[in-house]
């Protein structure tokens, strides 16, 4: 388990709660045992029900803590390649979002609330495992309060920059975060954006509302409550954020005392807190889960907890990941601007590298061979990566050539034509090291494929026809420019897509015509095969040799 700058190990005891009775029993045990090691874990947002004496049950833990004996400094894995690029399966459409903002403004007009932190989930699909996702996102957002927690129920990958509270040396500190603006690649514009955020009355108003709310909450357990910083700007790779800091002096307080006073954090509810929580519950419909709850550690008389914003969550009963986003809505909020801000807050998960989508096609006598299959594949990738749809009717078709089209994020189309060279080298090699099939880029044809770079240089220099790769399980996958076919016992087999391959156009055609069968193939199969073939839409089916 990871929280902040430490990895916690040697688990001694686990505390889990699914209902109100278990919740308060667990909190009592946590307070008793915090001197025995490091108690690391989380409480979900929906636990707010218990602090107003309501019943609430969950099929996943509302509270989960482990008592650890040891901790060591956390050293992030330096990943060689970007592998995580999830597909946005579902997000809230703007019409529903706009309608809910209108309802919030009606509540503000009635005097029920001054500010509502309205959020919604984005559903994400990926081939990647938790560790690869965590390591890659850390390159974008290595925050002070990062967390990696996996148990039998769920996985939580948090990259939160927001401190909920820290209790140390009889002082409690809260740092609410309110106010956001995007970064810009131009340093002059970026500096202007930062200045605007720090001086914008709307953002300052949102921030100070939450500062006042937290001052009031802290006064329930502390004295000498004071604002030690106001409207400071923190900068991250994709955005600038405004924070303030409130401090209070405290005598001996228990974990449950702090929670009764502060939970959930006012920065992710709004003001006044309880009435605003009711409004949120009516509008959001779905549970926030650990998002907007708390994650952190207790040790001896010290506590440190984040507000889990910028957090990926996976219920292991579900197929996809969830990433919740949101923003504070006040009277002068503009729905479109707030919606764009919420989308901006999701961008930290994506790799910070530009790439193009690619489709390579054979043109004969002025006609693109298998164009419908090529078109279908590139448009699938357009949807997966969230690119703008290109106008493929703008392709200028040559008479006889290899036509390579490229599409950028804005849907702009580029093309290259080259002549078809004769094959003079039919030699293939086997890769020296495995490739991980849990890589979102493997399933799409893009200009980002550094794992094939060395092999493609050899192909270009006519040293080999292709290099055949295999995955972490020893399963054969594909070549750097072609799909693999093995003839075994007079049948023709090709690896299935889920081993980590591009679904080539020629492969699709041959499977549909039943000339090929899908089968998981291993390295030893390539040596005992009767024949080896590389197939693609340019060369067709080419017999090759090791």
> Where are the chain's structural domains?
2-349, 354-420, 422-546
Domain 354-420 has CATH 3.30.470.10: yes
Whether residue 393 is predicted with pLDDT greater than 90 in this model: the reply is yes
How much is the pLDDT for 203? 83
Ramachandran quadrant class, 18 (left: phi over 0; alpha: psi -120 to 50; beta: rest): alpha
Average pLDDT over residues 247-265: 95
> Is the pLDDT reported for residue 538 higher than 90?
yes
pLDDT band at 367 (very low <50, low <70, confident <90, very high): very high
Write down the pLDDT at residue 154: 98
For the residues 344-371, what does the mean pLDDT come to? Answer: 93
When pLDDT is cut at 50, 70 and 90, the band that residue 239 belongs to is confident
Model pLDDT for residues 23-35, shown as the tens digit of each residue: 999 999 999 999 9
Q: Which positions are catalytic?
A: 162, 178
Q: Kindly provide the b/e burial profile for residues 490-517, where b requires at least 16 CB atoms within 10 angstroms of the residue's own CB.
A: eebbbbebebbbbbbbbbbbbeeeeebe
pTM above 0.85, yes or no: yes
Binned at pLDDT 50, 70 and 90, residue 272 comes out as very high
In degrees rounded to 5, what are phi and psi of residue 415? -140, 150
What pLDDT score was predicted for residue 185? 84
Would you state the pLDDT for residue 518?
A: 97
pLDDT > 90? residue 506: yes
- Once rounded to an integer, what is the mean pLDDT over residues 512-520? 96
Q: What is the mean pLDDT of residues 444-471?
A: 96
Q: So what's the pLDDT on residue 204?
A: 87
- Those residues whose C-beta lies under 8 Å from the C-beta of residue 279, and which sit 6 or more positions away, are 104, 107, 112, 113, 116, 270
Tell me the CA distances in angstroms from 539 to 337, 446, 495, 535, one per residue in order.
50, 20, 19, 7
pLDDT for 322: 98
Copy the structure tokens of residue 385: 């990566």
**Which residues is 295 bridged to in the sheet?**
42, 306
Summary mean pLDDT of the chain = 94
Tell me what percent of the residues of the chain surpass a pLDDT of 70. Answer: 100
pLDDT (0 to 100) of residue 392: 95
What's the pLDDT at 61? 97
What per-residue confidence (pLDDT) applies to 77? 87
* Of 486, 492, 479, residue with least CA distance to 528: 486
pLDDT band at 183 (very low <50, low <70, confident <90, very high): confident
Whether the predicted pLDDT of 236 surpasses 90: no
Q: Residue 178: which pLDDT band, with cuts at 50, 70 and 90?
A: confident
pLDDT at position 78 over 90: no
3-class SS shares of the chain: helix, strand, coil, % to 5: 30, 35, 35
In this structure, which topology does domain 422-546 adopt according to CATH?
D-amino Acid Aminotransferase; Chain A, domain 2 (3.20.10)
**pLDDT beyond 90 at 103:** yes
- pLDDT of 353 reads 83
Query: What's the mean pLDDT in 179-198?
Result: 88
Strand order in the sheet with 357-364: 367-368, 357-364, 401-407, 413-418
CATH architecture for segment(s) 2-349: 4-Layer Sandwich (3.60)
What is the per-residue pLDDT for 257?
Answer: 95
């Amino acid at each position: 388990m990871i929280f902040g700058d430490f990895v916690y190990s040697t688990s001694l005891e686990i505390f889990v709660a699914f209902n109100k009775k278990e919740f308060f029993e667990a909190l009592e045990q946590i307070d008793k045992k915090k001197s025995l090691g490091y108690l690391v874990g989380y409480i979900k947002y929906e636990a707010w029900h218990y602090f107003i004496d309501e019943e609430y049950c969950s099929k996943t833990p509302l509270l989960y803590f482990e008592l650890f004996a040891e901790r060591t400094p956390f050293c992030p894995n330096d990943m060689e390649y970007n592998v995580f690029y999830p597909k946005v399966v579902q997000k809230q459409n703007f019409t529903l979002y706009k309608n809910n903002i209108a309802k919030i403004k009606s509540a503000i007009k009635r005097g029920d609330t001054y500010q509502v932190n309205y959020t919604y989930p984005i559903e994400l699909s990926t081939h990647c495992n938790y560790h690869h996702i965590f390591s890659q996102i850390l390159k974008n957002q290595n925050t002070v309060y990062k967390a990696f927690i996996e148990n039998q129920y769920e996985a939580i990958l948090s990259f939160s920059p927001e401190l909920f509270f820290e209790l140390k040396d009889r002082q409690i500190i809260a740092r609410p975060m309110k106010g956001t603006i995007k970064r810009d690649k131009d340093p002059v514009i970026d500096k202007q954006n930062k200045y605007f955020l720090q001086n914008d009355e709307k953002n300052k108003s949102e921030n100070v509302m939450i500062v006042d709310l937290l001052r009031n909450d802290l006064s329930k357990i502390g004295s000498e409550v004071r604002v030690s910083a106001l409207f400071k700007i923190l900068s991250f790779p994709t955005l600038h954020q405004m924070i303030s800091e409130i401090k209070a002096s405290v005598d001996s307080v228990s974990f449950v005392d702090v929670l009764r006073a502060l939970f959930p954090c006012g920065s992710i509810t709004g003001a006044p807190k309880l009435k605003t929580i009711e409004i949120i519950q009516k509008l959001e419909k779905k549970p926030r889960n650990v998002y907007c709850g708390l994650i952190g550690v207790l040790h001896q008389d010290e506590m440190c907890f984040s507000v889990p914003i910028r957090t990926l969550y996976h219920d292991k009963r579900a197929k996809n990941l969830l990433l919740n986003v949101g923003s504070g809505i006040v009277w002068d909020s503009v729905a479109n601007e707030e919606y764009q801000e919420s989308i901006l807050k999701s961008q930290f998960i994506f790799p910070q590298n530009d790439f193009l989508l690619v489709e390579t096609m054979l043109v004969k006598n002025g006609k693109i061979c298998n164009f419908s299959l090529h078109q279908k594949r590139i448009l699938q990738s357009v949807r997966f990566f969230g690119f703008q749809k290109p106008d493929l009717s703008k392709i200028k078709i040559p008479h006889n050539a290899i036509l390579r089209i490229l599409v950028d994020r804005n849907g702009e189309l580029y093309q290259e034509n080259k002549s078809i060279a004769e094959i003079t080298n039919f030699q293939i090699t086997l890769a020296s090291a495995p490739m991980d099939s849990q890589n979102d880029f493997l399933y799409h044809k893009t200009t980002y494929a550094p794992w094939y770079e060395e092999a493609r240089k050899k192909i270009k220099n006519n040293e080999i026809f292709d290099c055949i790769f295999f995955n972490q399980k020893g399963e054969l996958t594909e070549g750097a420019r072609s799909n693999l076919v093995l003839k075994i016992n007079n049948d023709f087999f090709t690896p299935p897509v889920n081993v980590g391959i591009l679904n080539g156009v020629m492969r699709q055609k041959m499977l549909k015509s039943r000339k090929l069968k899908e089968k998981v193939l291993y390295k030893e199969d390539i040596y005992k095969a009767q024949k080896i073939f590389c197939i693609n839409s340019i060369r067709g089916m080419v017999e090759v040799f090791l």
